[in-house]
Chains A and B, each alone.
Chain A
Amino acid sequence: MSCCAPGVEAAAEIGRDPSAEELKLASRDLGDGLYQTDLSVPGVHCAACIRTVERGLGKLAGVESARVNLSTKRVGVKWRGDAPPPMIQALAGFGYPAHLFEAEQDKGDPELSRLIRAVGVAGFCAMNIMLLSVSVWSGADAETRQAFHWISAVLALPALVYSGQVFFRSAWSALKVGRTNMDVPISIGITLAFSLSLYDTFHNGRHAYFDAATTLVFFLLIGRTLDHVMREKARAAVRGLVRLSPRGATILRDDGSHDYLPVSEVEPGMRILLAAGDRVPVDGMVVEGASELDCAIATGESAPLHVVPGSALRAGTLNLTGPLTLAATAKAQASFLAEMVRLMEAAEGGRARYRRLADRAAQLYSPVVHATAFLTFLGWMAATGDWHRAIGIAIAVLIITCPCALGLAVPIVQVIAARRLFENGIMVKDGSGIERLAQIDTAVFDKTGTLTLGRARLVDVEASDEAMLAVAAALAARSRHPLSRAIASGLDSGTPIALTEIIEQPGLGIEARVGGDSYRLGRSEWALVDGKLGQGTVLGRNGQFAAGFMFEDTLRPGTADALTALQGQGLGVAILSGDQPATVAATARQLGVEHFEGALLPGAKVSRLGELAAEGKRMLMVGDGLNDAPALAAAHVSMAPATAADIGRNAADFVFLHESLAAVPTALAVAREAGKLVRQNFALAVVYNAIALPIAIAGYVTPLVAALAMSLSSVLVVANALRLKAGKVTKTASAVQSEHLSGPQAMAAAE
């Protein structure tokens, strides 16, 4: 596919594709031999993508139908048969890398449909009442007015009883614990307005506030629904990303038979077969075989770890070279992962204490509104002695100050900001993340997988002659080890060399014969006769040194620019990593970062963040590994790349899908502008109240004035929020983003 073949930035490329058993395990049984598998396909983004994916999958044997959901970037495939069709391989063939999606979490969203139904009902009632009210305001005679008021009362009832429930419930649950929130004045306002209007209708009164009460419910529900949609959309997108922890494991029974069990059923003592390219499902010990493990996601260490029988393995690490047999030492719930969850829960205190701007405003707002309305009532009682009039004016005060603007002020801005971020490949978990991001003054980064891609790149070669390099390239091309791949892509292979007797020794290297010479590429102690431990990767010719290779982790594209941009905005930048201090120092020097620390354990990262927080700093933590998850939970606000471990992604407030780190300054720019617009909206609400409140207290607010004032303030707030779209900051930021994106794509094309 031409225009929209997704670039290499599309999410992660981890290990290998899920096996057929794993696919089947993740599929839903629709009955009648029909299964549905949900795949996350981050690359689809236009009509041509939909067509390619749906037609391509539809042609596979066994596939009944395939339906792409562009909003959630997912495809649901219905298929028949004993084994799932090769969907993921087929999708990869079309240029759309796909990942397994959690089927059990895909259960729709009852809360959202309830909210939308409530909005629909309130909208219907409000509009019809408004229609009738306009004729009343334009001077209907007493008889018609009376009839219209009665119809309005009947119409207002469902809006109040059904749609209003959303507010009543929230207000009640706040009052039950002795607190007050924005929904308390709303509930009192609409209930009183309805009751008084009903009373007036009985007694042939001239004014009824049915329209105000229902319109208020309608507008506020729109804000509530937008807020909910934004949170759910991001949550769904994040959930749909690649899973790093395997969902099952191949168990080797004592009688030699194999079983594929879900991870949760793996018991300590069971023997697990782990192929090269698989992730370790639970903590375990190697019983048989030797290999190298990629621990980057678990510990932040960038160099592969050599394991032999007896080595302890942590869940989540990736087996790189050879098949292993493990003995499970812990259940899934007690594995390394679970330990991280405990640390995270302990660290989460600071985040939980943060109260959203709207809640803080409500805390201030509702007592003021109630007091004003009550004083108005007392004042009019004292002045006129007419309790009906006094209550009517007090209700007008409640309605006019009802936080229409406040109810919309924050969610509408956050919805638009989230949309902007989404377009830039950044997911937001909830609105408070945007608020918190705007407040940060320090950005703390993890190294492996965050600043770097965790992919080795050949930087230096030391060779006796050119021919040796050609041999090394030929050998490296036969291996899937990350360092071999780096050598193969870093060296010009030149003329092909005939290799014979190629053997890959897991955990050691690869060997072969060329003519009469034996070559070994790998660990120095294995490749060289007199090799010592820790000399790095070498090519040995009959046991003699022939070439040495130096590697470096590849930086994420846009890293240097992103850090410069952050420092340019006056933010402090620091690196906290679990990798070797020397490696961390090299990366920090290369990026011009002064504050860095290496060899940190997960707990130490949290305590470092705690120390910074004690200095009064507000930190953004950007990290990807399991070992970062507690720190992500502890920081004021956190961000993780899509390639991060599940648990890290769940802990982060923001998840960025593209490879480039430019997402960080982009998100910051959007968050800051959103913060500015929210403050402006609050200012608008205050100005509106300053004008409307005296008029209401003076008793000049008729239903017509109330309707006009409310609509005007809501429209103003929404219009102001829409200005974010035109924000210059975000435009330039997204331009930078796309520039960075073209980088890796161009490189991939060149390869």
Chain B
Amino acid sequence: MSSLVFLVPLALVLGAAALGGFLWSLRSGQYDDLDGAAARILLDDEEDEN
């Protein structure tokens, strides 16, 4: 029982952190082009970036 006192809040904090991460990634436009993200993994790093 005593372990639950900090384990449950810990679980909730971790979950809330994941939720925050999701909302952040949503806001920063990471879900705007899912097909593109899937394809871009096949591209080499830009060698002629300047």
At the interface, yes or no: A143 with Cβ under 8 Å from chain B?
yes
| Given A70-B39, A72-B33, residue A144 in contact with residue B1 (CB < 8 A) | yes
* Chain A residues within an 8 Å CB radius of B31: 116
Contact, CB under 8 Å: B1 / A47: no
Interface of A is mostly: helix
A112-132: CB near B (< 8 Å → 1, else 0) gives 010011001100100110011
Q: Chain B nearest CB: distance from A513 CB in Å?
A: 53
Contact, CB under 8 Å: A144 / B4: yes
| Given A69-B33, A117-B23, residue A124 in contact with residue B39 (CB < 8 A) | no
8 Å CB contact of B36 from A50, A147, A151: A50
A522-563: CB near B (< 8 Å → 1, else 0) gives 000000000000000000000000000000000000000000
Contact, CB under 8 Å: A47 / B43: yes
Write the chain B residue with the least CB distance to A69. Answer: B33
Contact, CB under 8 Å: B22 / A120: yes
Q: Chain B nearest CB: distance from A535 CB in Å?
A: 54
Q: How far is the CA of A55 from the CA of B43 in the complex (A)?
A: 12
Q: How far is the CA of A113 from the CA of B43 in the complex (A)?
A: 29
Total interface residues in chain A, CB < 8 Å: 26
* Chain B residues within an 8 Å CB radius of A68: 36
Contact, CB under 8 Å: B26 / A120: yes
Contact, CB under 8 Å: A116 / B15: no
* Chain A residues within an 8 Å CB radius of B34: 71
| Given A124-B15, A124-B18, A144-B4, residue A70 in contact with residue B23 (CB < 8 A) | no
Within 1-39 of B, Cβ neighbours of A (below 8 Å) are at 1, 4, 8, 11-12, 15-16, 18-19, 22-23, 26-27, 31-36, 39
Q: How far is the CA of A144 from the CA of B4 in the complex (A)?
A: 9
* Chain B residues within an 8 Å CB radius of A116: 26, 31
Contact, CB under 8 Å: B8 / A151: yes
Q: How far is the CA of A148 from the CA of B39 in the complex (A)?
A: 44
Total interface residues in chain B, CB < 8 Å: 26
8 Å CB contact of B15 from A46, A47, A50, A127: A127
Q: Chain A nearest CB: distance from B50 CB in Å?
A: 10
Interface of B is mostly: helix
| Given A50-B40, A124-B19, residue A113 in contact with residue B26 (CB < 8 A) | yes
Q: How far is the CA of A55 from the CA of B48 in the complex (A)?
A: 9
* Chain A residues within an 8 Å CB radius of B1: 143-144
Contact, CB under 8 Å: B35 / A70: yes
At the interface, yes or no: A51 with Cβ under 8 Å from chain B?
yes
Q: How far is the CA of A191 from the CA of B1 in the complex (A)?
A: 31
Q: Chain A nearest CB: distance from B13 CB in Å?
A: 11
Contact, CB under 8 Å: A46 / B39: yes
Q: How far is the CA of A127 from the CA of B15 in the complex (A)?
A: 9
* Chain B residues within an 8 Å CB radius of A47: 39-43
| Given A69-B33, A124-B18, A144-B1, residue A50 in contact with residue B8 (CB < 8 A) | no
* Chain A residues within an 8 Å CB radius of B16: 124
Write the chain A residue with the least CB distance to B22. Answer: A120
Q: How far is the CA of A332 from the CA of B12 in the complex (A)?
A: 59
Write the chain A residue with the least CB distance to B37. Answer: A70
Write the chain A residue with the least CB distance to B12. Answer: A128
Q: How far is the CA of A351 from the CA of B38 in the complex (A)?
A: 38
* Chain B residues within an 8 Å CB radius of A144: 1, 4
Q: How far is the CA of A468 from the CA of B19 in the complex (A)?
A: 77
A417-455: CB near B (< 8 Å → 1, else 0) gives 000000000000000000000000000000000000000
* Chain A residues within an 8 Å CB radius of B33: 69-72
Q: Chain A nearest CB: distance from B42 CB in Å?
A: 4
* Chain B residues within an 8 Å CB radius of A124: 15-16, 18-19
Within 39-58 of A, Cβ neighbours of B (below 8 Å) are at 46-47, 50-51, 55
Write the chain A residue with the least CB distance to B44. Answer: A51
Q: How far is the CA of A151 from the CA of B22 in the complex (A)?
A: 22
| Given A47-B43, A120-B22, A151-B8, residue A69 in contact with residue B15 (CB < 8 A) | no
Q: How far is the CA of A227 from the CA of B8 in the complex (A)?
A: 35
Write the chain A residue with the least CB distance to B18. Answer: A124
8 Å CB contact of B35 from A71, A117, A148: A71
8 Å CB contact of B39 from A50, A120, A128: A50
Q: Chain B nearest CB: distance from A234 CB in Å?
A: 15
* Chain A residues within an 8 Å CB radius of B46: 55
| Given A47-B42, A70-B39, residue A117 in contact with residue B15 (CB < 8 A) | no
Q: Which of B11, B15, B23, B36 has most A Cβ within 10 Å?
A: B36
Contact, CB under 8 Å: A117 / B39: no
Q: Chain B nearest CB: distance from A142 CB in Å?
A: 12
* Chain B residues within an 8 Å CB radius of A50: 36, 39-40, 43
A59-103: CB near B (< 8 Å → 1, else 0) gives 000000000111110000000000000000000000000000000
Within 7-53 of A, Cβ neighbours of B (below 8 Å) are at 46-47, 50-51
Q: Chain A nearest CB: distance from B30 CB in Å?
A: 12
8 Å CB contact of A128 from B4, B11, B23, B41: B11
B contacts, CB < 8 Å to A: 1, 4, 8, 11-12, 15-16, 18-19, 22-23, 26-27, 31-36, 39-43, 46, 48
Query: What are 13 inter-chain pairs, A to B, with CB distance below 8 A?
Result: A47-B40, A47-B42, A69-B32, A69-B36, A70-B33, A71-B33, A116-B26, A117-B23, A117-B26, A120-B19, A120-B23, A143-B1, A144-B4
Using A50-B39, A55-B48, A128-B11 as known contacts, list a sample of 19 further A-B pairs with CB atoms less than 8 Å apart, ordered by residue number in A.
A46-B39, A50-B36, A50-B40, A51-B43, A55-B46, A70-B35, A70-B36, A71-B32, A71-B33, A113-B26, A113-B27, A117-B23, A124-B15, A124-B18, A124-B19, A128-B12, A144-B1, A147-B4, A148-B8
